[in-house]
Structure 1
Amino acid sequence: MDGICTLANDKVYDQLIALLNSIEAIYGQKMPVCIYPYDDNTEKIAAELVHRPHVTLYNNQDSIQKWDQFVKDIWDTHPTAQTHWQKIGSSKYHRVGTHRRYCAFDAPFDRFVYMDADTLLMSPLDHIFNQLNHNDWIVYDFQFKDLSHVYSVSSTKLKELFAPERLQTEIFCSGFYGSKKDIFPNQQREILLDYLRQGEAEVLYDMAPDQTILNYMVMRSGISSYNFALSLPEKNATGCCVTSLHFENRDQILYDRGNKLTYLHYIGLSSKLFSRVCAGENIDFPYRDTFLHYRYLYEPEQRPKFTTKAKAYNAPPSLGTRILKKLGLAKK
């Protein structure tokens, strides 16, 4: 069975609803969706799914605990990650919940497309699923232009481990990918842990924990991968990130130089921003109307009506706010 999966908790509720609605806008309720819980904060999500019989909240605790333990074992091999995380105020393990997307390798789908909760689906995924007939890992992004958010570029081991051409073409963003069940069985996970314990862990980039581990697992295991951004003719390839400001909106579908996007990723924008906008705060950000369209697809009367002048999401704080911050009185 094919399906789409994502990772969420109630903190990203508004974004999750927009994603689910964008999937339904294309597939109706025919495409099954599985949500992996980032943590136990999923009450609002569970209540919403009563109305969406094709969407399930993953609850296999053995699977969840297995992957939680696996990534803890990985970070226990890293020479500096835990010291770094504790220095910046995080815990011994940084954002462990984000790795729970790995549960997709257990269940419920034989083949799946994983989409971060801060994405919107713009096109049917036939091309991704069709390519899974030929490769075991499918991506569509331009992360290969920025190695520094995938691996530790200061690691001397990195280029010993992976040839430069692999580092220029095989790295990917962990926000969207197609893959298959059981491609990382227990024996392969143990082999990877052994490599990491022997010193390879230093190549991992600790501030993008799920992304660096996925890239390492796929590349170190020699899994057959395919990136549409590198494989399509340049005139047909599209961007996917909210940082690209040239996309054209036609009936709430985005196009890049006439080509329909597969998905839009609101990468780098805080989940708090979406919550504040949905609560009625007039903060502008790229493709806000597209997000609001899908968020309120079934309840347009609930969509916030802004009466004040919009404030840019990246506007510098006002003088008053800066003063309050200096005095320690500003709201966090």
Structure 2
Amino acid sequence: MNRGIYIVGNDRVMENAIALLNSIRRYDKDVTVYLIPFNDDYQQISEILTTVHNVQIFPDLELLSQFTQKIGEIFPQDFLALPNKMRKLVAWFGPLDEFIYIDTDIIVFEKIADNLDKLAEFDFICCDYHHKSEGLRNVFSPVVREKEIFTEAQLQDVFNSGFFASKKGCITAQIMEDTLRECATHKEYFDFSCGVTDQPILNYLILKLIDKRCNLVRVPGGEAGSWAGSLHFQEKNFILFDNKQQLKYVHWAGMKMKPGTPYYKLWEHYHHLHEPKRPLLQRLLSR
């Protein structure tokens, strides 16, 4: 069985991607990682990540192109702020049988691929407190509750789309297309007010199509939160803790990485983990 990690990126997010891959490789030197190009501007990030961290490029670029074209056909031009963010959905049709998807504005604090073992019980896994801290904001509008599109129990399963795990085949291409077309006819269901793109649509897909879901923070003895906007986390040996509970990862969702951003020095630590290799990185960047 092929297991591993997908990320989406281009040259614009290269520095974040370097920090993320440094953290992944800090705890797991062997896990397979695929880069799904966000657009055609990915030559620099590709060269650095493939050379330094043995990242592979998503092998079916034709599928990726066709999927992007299909998204453009399904959704009206003014529907999605950044349509290419939907490219993460090809994870269900890629080479990995079981996968974790991770946004590039994340760093991890453990051998993150071990979480794939939980897919023996579930078809979809996430690990965040969006349901508690944000409710339906940046996911669904009040219309979804008013029209009872989902039950209250289902609405407790909303999640941040920056980190999740699932299985190839549990959503087929045709069912995904049909459900995306359903989304495109009901813009009133979604909360795009803060500029999100994929998160509302992905939540709709998962709540509609996958019944065996698990948010790891909601199970007995569950995991800590992950949002960098939670300022009470404590750092020890370059790992964040919520009281005495270690975080799996920290996610700077909605934040720009710059001095003054919460936990910026921690991000810098992981960004520079391979400092001895910086001359190589600089040579690659100068090409």
Flag whether TM exceeds 0.5 (same fold).
yes
Residue 160 in structure 1 maps to residue 177 in structure 2: no
Distance 1:3 1:222, change over 3 A: closer
Matched residue type, 1:7: V
Residue 226 in structure 1 maps to residue 214 in structure 2: yes
- Could you tell me how far apart the structure 2 residues matched to 1:142 and 1:66 are? 34
- What TM-score, normalized by structure 1, do the two folds share? 0.76
Identity rate, percent: 28
Q: Which residue of 1 aligns with 2:234?
A: 248
Q: CA deviation at 1:141?
A: 0.4
Q: Which residue of 1 aligns with 2:167?
A: 180
Q: 1:192 aligns with which of 151, 156, 179?
A: 179
2:122 is paired with a residue whose SS is coil
- Could you tell me how far apart the structure 2 residues matched to 1:295 and 1:32 are? 20
- Could you tell me how far apart the structure 1 residues matched to 2:263 and 2:64 are? 34
Q: CA deviation at 1:143?
A: 1.1
Q: For the Cα contact (< 8 Å) 2:119–2:166, is it kept in 1?
A: yes
Q: Spell out the pairing of 1:49-60 with structure 2 (5 A cutoff).
A: 49-52=49-52, 54-60=54-60
Q: Which residue of 2 aligns with 1:298?
A: 274
Distance 1:256 1:193, change over 3 A: closer
Distance 1:194 1:40, change over 3 A: closer
Q: Which residue of 2 aligns with 1:36?
A: 36
Matched residue type, 2:127: Y
Q: Which residue of 2 aligns with 1:322?
A: none
Q: For the Cα contact (< 8 Å) 1:157–1:202, is it kept in 2?
A: no
For the pair shown, which has the larger CA radius of gyration, 1 or 2? 1
- Could you tell me how far apart the structure 2 residues matched to 1:231 and 1:25 are? 27
Q: Structure 2: where are the runs of 5+ without partners? A: 279-287
Distance 1:75 1:232, change over 3 A: farther
Residue 134 in structure 1 maps to residue 110 in structure 2: no
CA displacement 1:54-86 (0-9 Å, x = unmatched): 31122522221232134334423xxxx82xx7x
1:120 is paired with a residue whose SS is strand
2:226 is paired with a residue whose SS is coil
Counting matched residue pairs gives: 274
- Could you tell me how far apart the structure 2 residues matched to 1:31 and 1:4 are? 8
Q: CA deviation at 1:245?
A: 1.1
- What TM-score, normalized by structure 2, do the two folds share? 0.87
Q: Structure 1: where are the runs of 5+ without partners? A: 86-92, 275-282, 303-332
Q: 2:83 aligns with which of 92, 96, 99?
A: 96
RMSD: 2.3
- Could you tell me how far apart the structure 2 residues matched to 1:226 and 1:251 are? 29
